[in-house]
Amino acid sequence: MSQDEAKRNAAAAAMEFVESGMTLGLGTGSTAAFFVEFLAEEISDGLDVRCVPTSVATFEQAAALGIPLLPVEQVERIHLTVDGADEIDPHACLIKGGGAALLREKIIANASDHMVVIADESKAVETLGAFPLPVEVSPFGFTITAKKVFDALKTSGVDQPIVKLRESPVGKRPLVTDGGNYILDCRCKEIPSAQAAALALSVVPGVVEHGLFINLARTIILGDDEGAQILEFEY
Ligand code: 5RP
């Protein structure tokens, strides 16, 4: 099975949630990019939607495809957001931020009536944590913040976290997010309580946002080589 085919199948299945007249949040990453392509095709066939991208990369893709975009400041209601994920647990708790867009992704997801997550089935896990948890931090004092992030994760029950500054793919310097911040990637192996970790991280000064998305995704679409499985959640 090609992972891309599974991502594409998940993205295609998300189109059934889209209706004319909606304002949509557009996620970030390779799976979300497939959704943006499908959406552009439907728009050229007459679908009437307006969209808010969650990153500069998604903005550029959507603009190049002629998708109508709204500045986030003009958005009054977001009916639906479709986004990818790095890990998904059985309660629809997510790790996001592999593409460094977690802050904008969480703002838009949290403001949406409905968040649909699209992913290939390999993203479904029993317990979160094999994927390093991204934590977006202020550049000022980031080495101090990194120690406090380590402490917070330990307090929440993570055994031996390893906290590492994410580097830019071009050159040995910190990766800078669309919001001008840094990312700490936290290797946890296993996060025993996503709720406890989220709470502990959220009170660390210097932490702008963390990549744990809890009680946000109402629909999870897992793609495979044959199609996609749709799971619904209520909170
Ligand atoms: C970006 C994200 C992405 O949604 C996540 O990394 C999944 O990406 P992909 O669809 O390429 O596997 O959270 O910040």
* Residues whose CB falls within 8 Å of the CB of residue 29, separated by 6 or more in sequence, listed in order: 83, 84, 98, 99, 101
Asked if the model's pLDDT at residue 1 lies above 70, the reply is no
pLDDT band at 171 (very low <50, low <70, confident <90, very high): confident
Q: Count CA atoms closer than 13 A to 100's CA, side-chain side.
A: 19
Q: Residue 100 Cα, ligand 1 centroid: separation in angstroms?
A: 8
Closest C-alpha residue for ligand 1 atom 5 = 85
Q: Phi, psi (5° rounding) for residue 207?
A: -80, 120
Category of 197 on φ-ψ map: left (φ > 0), alpha (ψ -120 to 50) or beta: alpha
Asked if the model's pLDDT at residue 94 lies above 90, the reply is yes
Q: Which of 194, 170, 30 is nearest to 98 (CA)?
A: 30
Asked if the model's pLDDT at residue 144 lies above 80, the reply is yes
Using one digit for the tens of pLDDT, what is the confidence trace for 184-214? 999 999 999 999 999 999 999 999 999 999 9
Residue of 16, 42, 60, 105 marked active site: 105
Q: Residue 173 Cα, ligand 1 centroid: separation in angstroms?
A: 22
Using one digit for the tens of pLDDT, what is the confidence trace for 34-71? 999 999 999 999 999 999 999 999 999 999 999 999 99
For residue 194, what are its two tokens? 């996503």
Q: What integer is the mean pLDDT of 159-182? A: 96
Q: Phi, psi (5° rounding) for residue 6?
A: -65, -40
pLDDT band at 79 (very low <50, low <70, confident <90, very high): very high
Rounded to the nearest integer, the mean pLDDT of the chain is 97
Q: How far apart are CA 42 and CA 34, in angstroms?
A: 13
Side chain identity at residue 203, one-letter code = V
For residue 188, what are its two tokens? 């946890």
* Residues whose CB falls within 8 Å of the CB of residue 84, separated by 6 or more in sequence, listed in order: 7, 27, 28, 29, 30, 31, 32, 96, 99, 117, 118, 119
Pocket test for ligand 1, best of 30, 82, 94 (most atoms within 8 A of CB): 30
Q: Residue 151 Cα, ligand 1 centroid: separation in angstroms?
A: 26
Active site residue 105: yes
Residue 65 and residue 40 in contact, taking contact as beta carbons nearer than 8 Å: yes
